[in-house]
Chains A and B, each alone.
Chain A
Amino acid sequence: MTTSYIGESVKRLEDARLLTGQALFVDDVHLPKMLEVAFLRSSYAHARIRKIDVSEALKKTGVVAVYTAQNLGDYWQAGPLLVSPPPIKRLTFHKKTQVILAKDKVRYVGEPIAAVVAENRYIAEDALNDIIVDFEPLPAVVDLEKALLPDAALIHEDLPSNLAAHVIQEKGNYFAIKDQADLIIKRDFSYDHGAAVAMENRAIVADWDSKGQQMTVWDTTQAPIPIMNGLAGMLGLSENQVRVIAPFLGGAFGPKIMMFYSEEMLIPWISKQLGRPIKWIEDRQENFLATTHERGQTHHAEMALTKEGKILGIHDVFLHDTGAYDPYGLTVPINSQCTLLGPYDVKNYYSEFSVIFTNKMIVTPYRGAGRPQGVFVMERLLDLAAKELHLTPSEIRSRNFILPEQFPYKNEIIYQDFAPLVYDSGNYAPAMEKALELIDYKKFVEEEQPKLRAEGKNIGIGVVSYVEGTGIGPYEGAKVTVGASGKVSVATGVGTQGQSHFTTFAQIVADVLKVNIHDVTLVTGDTFKMNWGCGTFASRGMVVAGNACYAAAMAVREKILKLASEILESSIENLELGDSKVCVKGMPEKKITLGELAVKANPLRGAVKPGTIPGLEAAAYFGPSTGATSNGVHAAIVEVNPKTLRVDILKYIVVHDCGKVINPMVVEGQIHGGVAQGIGNAYYEQLVYDKKGQLLTASLMDYLLPTSYDVPRKIITGHIETPSPLNPLGVKGTGEAGTIPAASLFVQAVENALDNPKLEIREVPMSPNRLFELLKES
């Protein structure tokens, strides 16, 4: 019995392996003769290295080798620029990418200086204590606003200042309309650093097989194929000699696609040098110090409005902290710049940003990838304007929504995918209406809130909206094969880190080929199974790889029907595909199974027609012309404890439009997790650097992740489906939707709960103590 899987909450096919401890993670790879690596990392944020003495470390029993920049020889290099700057006219960019091991100078606490290779990790870590580094400390650049002052220390001394990039983008003419405004809201906003903190730290195992002249690398990367291509180039091997496997990954959320981490460049090279398998497993402290993180912006923004609350224009100038290097180009600040505009019809926009080098770990996308900052600025400006104009948060938003007939809506400025920012489709008003209905806004504000306030409770409500540019190109591929057993295998190049690819891609293929989903197996993240593709990022897996799976399955379906029509001597139109077989319509006995067809498609003797491509197999690629824009509205009711300022989120509504939903259960899971990370980002998690650039929050005792007590009691989701016209499945991405507006909503609801007209929260992360300070000031 074949059913339709698309749109159903199909239980996950990958669960059994994960639940029984049988799923392979990188640290589970254990090879004979394997050595382990520990890194000596900089304890200074900014210092010159005068001398490194590794002689004592080398004497330790069990230590096999110690590498520094000096003995890497010609292999010492700076990593590649992962994302070039988009073609924006008013743009300057200074490329400074991370090096394998620090030479002459260190630029952040945690920068790798030396690698000890030993019989096991315990010995390698012992030996780190025997390495003597003579540092000359330099003043650290930590404060964004002070980094460009003339007396600031220079992080990259060949540059005139700590400016990494400068970009201006404009739509309409803000300056021309400013005078027509009835109201100007002008404020500063800041959004400090937070970390992704995937539960699995980074890990790499590299195995150079000199007899087979083959390099195999297991890597916790979101982008195994680009790692393969890059390593082949660096190591002087052909792509066929390098196999990169990203097996099961224990979460990623963005930072596992920072190509290339120093360790990713070094570990395979060491394996080749020593001819033995090499393993490096990041520990949690290293994860805080040496895995990229995000946020870190200050905005000086103003909004011009009419007295009806209609936005005339926005002017925003911001600083973006890129950390010590800028290998990820401008993706994050451009996302902030573009996403700020949100679901609103803004005719005039001036946006200017400066990217600043600081003595901190490199900033690259983390779930949200610049968008939460933009949304925070926009939503806060609207909140402030609504207060001035005596409008509710939903009224001011609804008055500015782009109308359905305005799609495709052109924002004119250039987005992270190098294309002009165009919203493909959307229907924003129903999302707002549905959210207000689900949270019962009217009843809460008119009846419940006054009653609860009279009882002395600080209880408040909030509502925000946002867009998310998802599913950007360039492309992904998939290969679908029907085997002699009738089983279907699907290989895609994207890595998987919990997104349920094994299930959702199988749903698509099973529907096209009309087979049982349990007969479809997925391979993701193994470059020997699929060697073309980009990776998992930017909420694009389903949009780009999902549509590639669809295209490949359609091509195989065509092959199946063509071959079956020859064998069954019937026209294709007269054939019926289903239950892993093809039969002639109305003649169920005249049939052939998919397994039998697969054997016929791969003959061992005889002749085939010229041009025949053997097997029931096809590879296909999908590349959208531009990203698909998802949107949504979040609403919440919170209660603030007046003594402790603990915030309980009593109700949390997400109405989200990610186009056609393939698996509602999976989409809801993505939303739940995204919201939890957004709440953490809003009130619990903060990377705190002191004036010397020391990270004060480099453990889970100091960097607080939301627990089961801190997340919303219940998240209620409401889906709206506006199919994207940009791909055959009509899907849009959803991975980051939970996170993007959560902090904006949280502070709006907290302000409403505290009901203090002077309280204005213009920074995140908040925390109980910071909120206490703000309340005292107000």
Chain B
Amino acid sequence: MSNLFPITVTVNGVVYQKEVEPRLLLSDFLRHTLGLTGTHVGCEHGVCGVCTVLFDGRPVRSCIMFAVQANGHKITTVEGLSKDMEHLHPLQEAFSEKHALQCGFCTPGFLMTLIAFLHENPHPTEEQIREAISGNICRCTGYQNIIEAVKLAAIKMNASRENVANELSFP
């Protein structure tokens, strides 16, 4: 059982060197090995999108990846989105202003999906937003306010594009 593999993973800019079992899920590695519990787990079969993190800047479902697959890669989690609760990312601000979260459990997954989406598509149409979030399930909001929040976030992020580019590194 104790065939441990050494891995080096950069999470939110911090380099972690750990020894892990090959079967350890990336989601469990982030949550329980590193203590970054902002990434949540909803289904463990890659459907709900709750566990979405950025893997070298691209959204992936951390519940259907192994930690060893992240060896040598850069991960961004919700904890990496803003400095602290007083300095929210424009996307986080927009979610709050448009009441795009209720229980908030799925929210980190939406945020990570949308960070990458808005980076690729800074001026999205409503249809594009609908498609972008169609792989993330929210059971509380009915999505309407999430769509409104993305529209607002796009405006905010376009207004402060420089700051955002500095905060998050994309490949």
Contacts and interface: CB of A to CB of B under 8 A. Distances in A.
Contacts, number: 182
Contact of B141 (A122, A672, A707): A672
B142 A676 contact: yes
Interface stretch (A92-100, A197-205, A233-241, A355-363): A197-205
Interface stretch (B65-73, B78-86, B115-123, B159-167): B78-86
Nearest to A197: B139
A669 B37 contact: no
A732 B111 CA distance: 33
A249 B104 CA distance: 9
A21 interface: yes
Interface string B82-97: 1011101000100111
Interface stretch (A23-31, A41-49, A539-547, A624-632): A23-31
Contact of A500 (B1, B95, B102): B102
Contact of A284 (B31, B45, B86, B103): B45
Contacts of B103: 18, 198-200, 248-251, 497-498
Contacts of A670: 102
B39 A21 contact: yes
Contact of B130 (A27, A677, A708): A708
Nearest to B35: A30
Nearest to B130: A708
B21 to A, nearest CB: 7
B78 A25 contact: no
Contacts of A18: 101, 103-104, 107
A675 B139 contact: no
B105 A21 contact: no
A280 interface: no
Nearest to A701: B47
A707 B107 contact: no
Given A12-B96, A62-B1, A19 B139 contact: no
B79 A699 contact: no
B157 interface: no
Contacts of B1: 61-62, 123
A123 to B, nearest CB: 8
A666 interface: yes
A205 to B, nearest CB: 13
A20 B142 contact: no
16 contacts: A16-B85, A16-B86, A17-B85, A19-B101, A20-B84, A21-B77, A62-B1, A122-B23, A250-B106, A284-B44, A666-B99, A669-B102, A669-B145, A707-B135, A708-B146, A711-B143
Interface of A: 9, 11-12, 14-23, 25, 27-28, 30, 61-62, 122-123, 196-201, 248-251, 253, 283-284, 497-500, 665-666, 668-670, 672-677, 699-701, 705, 707-709, 711-712, 714-715, 738
Given A19-B107, A498-B102, 20 more contacts: A11-B99, A18-B103, A19-B92, A20-B92, A21-B39, A122-B23, A198-B139, A199-B103, A199-B138, A248-B104, A249-B103, A250-B40, A250-B103, A250-B104, A284-B43, A498-B104, A672-B141, A700-B137, A707-B137, A711-B142
